[in-house]
Structure 1
Amino acid sequence: MRFLLLGNLEIYDEDLRLIRLSRTKHRQLLGLLLLRANHAVCIDQLVDGMWPLHPPRFAKGNIKTYVSALRPVVNQAGALIETVPRGYQLTVRTDHVDVLRFEELFQAGVGLGGDHDAPLRAELLQQALGLWRGEAMQDLTADGGPLRDAATRLHEKRIVAIQDLAGLSLLLGRNHEAIDHLRMALSWEPLRERLWRLLMLALYRDGRQAEALSAYREFRTILVENIGLEPSGELRSLHSKILTGDVPLGV
């Protein structure tokens, strides 16, 4: 990978040496172009992305200046910023950008179907999740706007990937792996009942009935204290089955 967005923005040259890019606006502009890599991005979209609230008077001129500064950096990393009608396009190989590679692996992992595909799907999702180094573009989203919106969408896909991988791990009898993935996801999204349901199943199938019951109590406390609701009937039913040792095999 030469361009990394799944964490802080990082750029590497063709010898995989880190390229320093210190100016915030240069980094934001590069992030916007990478998110739409191999597609034209009009200058108005770039202005909205870099100054979502109060663009300066000469914002479009500023962008042209920033693009001139970015071109040698991008070239050093094996890509190209092209001028196109009404904007710019960053042309780059898919396997040089972690976000593009994540999207490919994610779509392949969730797109396959059937139990016979479970090992392959699990491997694809494991590879996709292995690309993450932190929150997406965590050093670029302070101003909100399209960069933060994109980071939120990527975070959602990350959670879906973890959820699907946990389900596949259960199907394949990899209970420990499922527990690890689910604990991590719940540290970010403690109100997601689907994640708690999978965690309860994984713990139970790993011979940890008491921890599975404790997980239900923990989720119920979080739910009641935060939004004043009880767990769904489906989760309460699973809790009862874990109490009696009558847990379904499916996830």
Structure 2
Amino acid sequence: MSTKAMIFDLDDTLFAEKDYIFSGFLAVDKAVQKKLSVSGFYKIAIELFEEGERKYIFNRALDRLNVNYNNKLIHSLLKTYRTHLPDIQLLNDAKWVIENLYDSVKLGIISDGYIDAQYNKVKALKLKNMFHSIILSDRFGRENWKPSKVPYLHVCMALQVEHKDCIYIGDNLSKDFITAKSLGWKTVYIERRHGMYPNIIVDEEYQAHYKISDLKELSLINEFENLFKKQYVPYSI
């Protein structure tokens, strides 16, 4: 296989999703202080998140703050969360890969999520000048989030490459690889120990061809090593 394109997931692949979440909590905290003159939202939201709450963090945090609220307020806070410009950075291993790939390798992103939130992540990370194509699947409707074929087809068209020439790297076994594999892509699972999707058990068809714990390890996979200017040397004692 002659690899011509390396396409990445975004959240917990190129940056730590928890950083985005906590950045969003801080933005909402400021909104709560401004709208309601109530402090403490940020600390409580993080506590709830660490306790495992995911779906109703805003409601539970306001309950703990003894704030009376309605759906209109919750929706307003959700909008603040999803439209804020986050304080996030590329992970070091992501920077290393981007800097050490040969220029002949085209770079792409396929990312699910609400379009405003994903756009602002791309903006905050300054990715437009680093990647040849960035496909935010929400622009095609939520029904075309992964594992829909639509974003994979669009990134191939944008990069002007065939499916057999693509690699996809992501962190979510439940949706990142099944379609890419069916189209003939090579796939790599990045296992982020502190990510949002650890320890997922899936059937074989959902598994990636390769599994790594650091993006630098891409340069150690035999069929990809020729894509890199240098190989990663793991630290050893």
Query: Do these two structures clear the TM 0.5 threshold for a shared fold by scoring above it?
Result: no
TM-score where L is the length of structure 2: 0.29
Q: Larger C-alpha radius of gyration, 1 or 2?
A: 1
* Higher share in helix: 1
TM-score where L is the length of structure 1: 0.28
Between 1 and 2, higher relative CO (CA 8 Å, sep ≥ 6) is seen in 2
